[in-house]
C-alpha cells in the first residue's frame, strides 16, 4: 500500500498494552510487526513475517532466557535484531527485519520504514510527569481512513449529534483557535443539558462534569491530540492516539490521565471514566463507518475552520 503521511512519528503502543514477554501484533501502514517487552522493560519489534516459511511471529512465544521470539510454525528463534538463534549459536546476519523504535517513558514510537520528517512530540511525557495514569480506553480499529478519523476529532459540531446521548451537550462555543504548523489548539465551552437521575446513575462521570465545561484541545498533527478539562474531581487529560493501519483502517486508543483531588476517587471513577470513553470512541467510529463516500459539502457550520486547517495539513504533507 502507499504510505499514509510518510515520515510522521506514530505512537504504536503504550507499555501497559504490551504485557511482559508476550508477543503483541501491530499493523502500521499495511505492514505487520511483532512487538515484545522483556522483564527489564526493553522493547523489540520485528517484521511479523517469519523468514523461513512466512508464519506470523506474533502467534509465537517469547523465550525469556535468550530474549527471543519463537516462530509458532517450526520454532525458529529470532532476537530483537532479527538474528537467528540455533543450537546455542547466534547467526551474524539478521534474517528477520527489525523495526526501529524510539521508547520514551512508557510510549513506543516509530517512523515505520520511513525517514523522519518531524520530531516526536514530548507532550505525553509532560502529561505523565504531572498526572496519574488512569488507563487505556477506546482501543479499536476503525473501518475508515486516517483522515476521516483525524477530522472527527477536529470537528467541533458533532457533540450534539454523535455524542448527544452520553453527555447531552446542547451548545458548544469555541473561544480560541491558535495554530502554528503541525500544532494547533482550540479552547471551547460546552453546555450540558440537565441530566436525569437515571442518566447520572448510569454514567457517574456526569456527576463530575460541570454544567458548563471548559476544555482545551491541543493537536500534534498527525500523531496525537490531547483534551484537557477541569472537572469536579480534578484536572483531566485525555491523549487520543491514532495511526494508519491500512488505507481504510485506522487504529485509535486513548491514554487517560487525571490528577484526582483525593485518593479514593480513582477506584471509584476509574471504570466509569474508561467506559465512557469507550462509548465515545464507539460513537465516533459509527459516525465514520456509516458515512457515504465524500462529496463536496454545500453547507458550512461555524467552527469548521479547525477541520479545514487539519485537512490542509494532511493535503500538504
* Residues in contact with ligand FES by the rule CB under 6 A: 50, 52-53, 55, 71, 73-74, 76
Closest distance between ligand FES and the C-beta of residue 79, in Å?
A: 14
Binding mask of the shown chain, residues 244 to 283, with x at each position contacting Fe ion by CB under 5 A: ----------------------------------------
Q: How far apart are the first and last CA of the chain?
A: 17
Residue 73: CB minimum distance to ligand FES, A: 4
127 close to 239: Cβ distance less than 8 angstroms: yes
What does 71 bind: Fe ion, ligand FES, none (CB cut-off 5 to 8 Å by kind)?
A: ligand FES
Looking at the DSSP bridge assignments, the partners of residue 87 are none
- The dihedral over CA atoms of 20, 249, 10, 43, expressed in degrees to the nearest 10, equals 20
Between 59 and 168, CB nearer to ligand FES: 59
CB-neighbour burial class of residue 35 (10 A; exposed 0-12, middle 13-18, buried 19+)? buried
For residue 309, the partner it binds in Fe ion, ligand FES, none, with Cβ less than 5 to 8 A by kind, is none
- In what helix (H) or strand (E) does residue 272 lie, and over which residues does it extend? helix 265-289
Whose cell is 474508561? That residue is 274
- Decide which of Fe ion, ligand FES, none touches 284; Cβ closer than 5 to 8 Å per partner kind: Fe ion
Work out how close the CB of 287 gets to Fe ion at its nearest, in angstroms, rounded to a whole number.
Answer: 7
Q: Which of 14, 310, 289 is nearest to 139 (CA)?
A: 14
Interaction pattern, residues 276-315, with Fe ion; x per rule: CB under 5 A: --------x-------------------------------
Query: Residue by residue, what is the 3-state secondary structure of 159-202?
Result: CCCCCHHHHCEEEEEEEEEEEECCEEEEEEEEEECCCCHHHHHH
Shorter beta-carbon distance to ligand FES: residue 47 or 238: 47
Q: Output 94 or 204, the one with its CB closest to ligand FES.
A: 94
d(Cα 183, Cα 216) in Å, to the nearest integer? 13
**C-alpha–C-alpha distance, residues 309 and 305, integer Å:** 6
Q: Which is nearer to ligand FES, 71 or 307 (CB)?
A: 71
Q: At closest approach, how far in Å is the CB of 288 from Fe ion?
A: 10
Looking at beta carbons only, is 74 or 261 nearer to ligand FES? 74
Q: Nearest approach, Cβ of 222 to ligand FES (angstroms)?
A: 34
Pairing of strands 169-180, 183-192: antiparallel
Nearer to ligand FES, 57 or 237 (CB): 57
79 binds Fe ion (CB under 5 A): no
CB of 97 to ligand FES, least distance (A): 14
Give the CA dihedral 118, 120, 124, 130, nearest 10 degrees.
Answer: -100
The C-alpha cell at 117 is: 520528517
Q: Residue 161 or 210: which CB sits closer to Fe ion?
A: 161
55 contact, one of Fe ion, ligand FES, none, CB 5-8 Å limit per kind: ligand FES
Amino acid at each position: 500500500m502507499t504510505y499514509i503521511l510518510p515520515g510522521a512519528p506514530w505512537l504504536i503502543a503504550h507499555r501497559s498494552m504490551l504485557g511482559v514477554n508476550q508477543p503483541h501484533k501491530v499493523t502500521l501502514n499495511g505492514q505487520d510487526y511483532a512487538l515484545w517487552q522483556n522483564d527489564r522493560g526493553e522493547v523489540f519489534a520485528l517484521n511479523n513475517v517469519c523468514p523461513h516459511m512466512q508464519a506470523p511471529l506474533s502467534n509465537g512465544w517469547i523465550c525469556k532466557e535468550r530474549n527471543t521470539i519463537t516462530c509458532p510454525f517450526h520454532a525458529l528463534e529470532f532476537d530483537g535484531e532479527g538474528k537467528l538463534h540455533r543450537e546455542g549459536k547466534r547467526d551474524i546476519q539478521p534474517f528477520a527485519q527489525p523495526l526501529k523504535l524510539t521508547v520514551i517513558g512508557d510510549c513506543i514510537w516509530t517512523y515505520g520504514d520511513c525517514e523522519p520528517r518531524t520530531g516526536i512530540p514530548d507532550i505525553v511525557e509532560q502529561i505523565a510527569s504531572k498526572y496519574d495514569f488512569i488507563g487505556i480506553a477506546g482501543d479499536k480499529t476503525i473501518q475508515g481512513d486516517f483522515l476521516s478519523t483525524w477530522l472527527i476529532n477536529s470537528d467541533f459540531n458533532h457533540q450534539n449529534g454523535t455524542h448527544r446521548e452520553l453527555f447531552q451537550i446542547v451548545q458548544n462555543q469555541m473561544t480560541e483557535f491558535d495554530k502554528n504548523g503541525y500544532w494547533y489548539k482550540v479552547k471551547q465551552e460546552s453546555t450540558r443539558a440537565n441530566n436525569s437521575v437515571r442518566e447520572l446513575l448510569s454514567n457517574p462521570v456526569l456527576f463530575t462534569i460541570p454544567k458548563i465545561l471548559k476544555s482545551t484541545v491541543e493537536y500534534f498533527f498527525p500523531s496525537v491530540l490531547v483534551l484537557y478539562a477541569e472537572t469536579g474531581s480534578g484536572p483531566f487529560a485525555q491523549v487520543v492516539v491514532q495511526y494508519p493501519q491500512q488505507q481504510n483502517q485506522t487504529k485509535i486508543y486513548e491514554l487517560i490521565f487525571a490528577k484526582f483531588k483525593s485518593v479514593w476517587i480513582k477506584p471509584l471513577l476509574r471504570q466509569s471514566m474508561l467506559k465512557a470513553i469507550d462509548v465515545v470512541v464507539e460513537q465516533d467510529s459509527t459516525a465514520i463507518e456509516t458515512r457515504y463516500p465524500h462529496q463536496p459539502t454545500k453547507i458550512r457550520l461555524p467552527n469548521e475552520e479547525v477541520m479545514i486547517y487539519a485537512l490542509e495539513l494532511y493535503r500538504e504533507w
